[in-house]
Amino acid sequence: MKQVGEIVTHVSKELNDQRPNRAFTRWGRGFLLECLNLGLAEIGAYRTEAFCVLTDITLIPGGTQYVNNNITIAAITANSDGTPIRKADNNVDIGYAAYAKNETQCAGDEYKVRTYSVDTKNTHVFYVNPPCPKGATVTVKASLFSGIPIYGPEDW
């Protein structure tokens, strides 16, 4: 994978600004880094999934679930066995999130998340339906967005 300095130097070569002893004369490093950051921001505005990573999330008992503060949920795609999870209406899931957790004997080994919704006021909170039972270890596959990278001179 190319480093930021290699990418900016390549762009500078394409702009015919890499003569010996006169590199980055017309197009400075700082300006090219700024253009790189603006380009990444534009990509992120229209194609958020370009900066997402697919990972497993272990659920805690109950309907209300949490992720770290520096991460936003883009989508929850499937249970650990591959069965799909559908996106639901956030207001409906919030209405049922406060109720009691499923008991283990009620859910058994066949527990699967059917729907999820992300809290519109706090994107680090999401709700699963049916709620995760006590004592069960359940993982789901999720697409997480950690933000658009911003590069500076220290990344050269």
Residues in the chain: 156
H or E element that contains 139: strand 139-145
Residue 107 pLDDT > 80, yes or no?
no
Q: How far apart are CA 133 and CA 106, in angstroms?
A: 8
- The fraction of the chain above a pLDDT of 70, given in percent, is 88
Residue 103 pLDDT > 80, yes or no?
no
Which pLDDT score is estimated for 92? 65
pTM: 0.67
User: Going by C-beta distance under 8 Å and a sequence separation of 6 or more, which residues neighbour residue 119?
Assistant: 90, 94, 125, 126, 127
**Residue ranges of the domains in the chain?**
4-46, 49-145
C-alpha angle 128-114-45 in degrees, rounded to nearest 5:
65
Give the residues across from 141 on adjacent strands: 56, 78
- The fraction of the chain above a pLDDT of 90, given in percent, is 27
Pairing verdict, β 125-132 and 139-145: unpaired
Residue 104 pLDDT > 50, yes or no?
no
pLDDT tens digits, 12-57? 888 888 888 888 888 888 899 999 999 999 998 888 888 888 999 9
Q: In this predicted model, which residue has the larger pLDDT, 104 or 56?
A: 56
Query: What mean pLDDT is predicted for residues 88-108?
Result: 58
